[in-house]
Amino acid sequence: MRKHRTVEEEGLNLVPIMNLVTILIPFLLMSAQFVSLAVIDSTLPAITVEVTQEKEDPEEKLNLSILITPNGFTLTGADKVLPPDSETDGPRIPCLDAGCRSPESYDYHALTERLKKVKDRYESEENVIFVPDGGVPYEVLVLTMDAARDDQEDKDDQGKARTLFPYVVIAAGVQ
């Protein structure tokens, strides 16, 4: 007679998989790169129709706009015309070289100087509207925000830069 061999079934061995998970999870956590982003608060203009009556405002409002084009910057005021500081100063700030081939060729220092003069005249203004041209690189937009927000050369006793126009609104570009 034939002997029957009985085979006992063994349970599933999970030890190798648990070892793999135990090693793999800390490795993945250590190799993960945590991303931190710097954010500049800005708002887009709302599309609304306002029906208001003209009121006599004792304080002048400017609604400052900076047009960013491949030829340089142009400063405008929606409610008031920006007066030139001299016969040669107009609302335009041309690039340092012809054609503004790179972000470094824009004259950010002259923009900050002109914005300081505007801030001295309209002290309560804190908003600035950027109107970038479609072909302007993103880096130019960020460097223009930096130039319009703070004057790094004019610092107080604590070493804090003078705030010019901290609230930035980005409008549709010029085509």
What is the tens place of the pLDDT at every residue in 36-94? 666 666 666 666 655 554 554 555 667 888 888 888 888 888 655 565 554 445 678 88
What is the tens place of the pLDDT at every residue in 146-156? 888 888 777 77
The answer to whether residues 168 and 42 touch, using CB atoms and an 8 Å cutoff, is yes
Of the candidates 142, 131, 153, the one whose C-alpha atom is nearest the C-alpha of residue 104 is 142
The answer to whether residues 174 and 67 touch, using CB atoms and an 8 Å cutoff, is yes
**Overall pTM > 0.75:** no
Rounded CA-CA distance 50/156 in Å is 40
Rounded CA-CA distance 28/36 in Å is 19
Strand order, beta sheet including 127-132:
42-43, 167-170, 127-132, 64-69, 72-77, 92-94
